[in-house]
Amino acid sequence: MDWASGFAIAFSFIVLILAAVIINFTITEIGIYYTFSSLGITTSILTLLTLPVMLLYSAKRKGAFTSMISVDVAWTCEFSL
């Protein structure tokens, strides 16, 4: 695992914790929650689930679909919409 993947996993945990704290605070104090907090939780969970799988595929198989630049670009474009 390279340092960029480690940073992505670490920051994903940070986003998950901060979004959960914001949701907990707003639900207990205001009674509603902000949608950006639920988006943060969803994004961090997707990152924590898919990044290790893609890293394992790339490490096990040379020339795997996750090692191709076109897959990374399509993956990024799909989740940026």
For the chain, the domains span: 3-80
Q: Burial of 5 by CB count in 10 Å (0-12 exposed, 13-18 middle, 19+ buried)?
A: middle
Q: What is the pLDDT of residues 35-62, one digit of tens each?
A: 899 999 999 999 898 888 877 777 777 7
Secondary structure of residue 56 in the 3-state scheme: helix
Q: For residue 79, is pLDDT > 80?
A: no
Alpha helices in the chain (DSSP H): 3-29, 35-60, 69-80
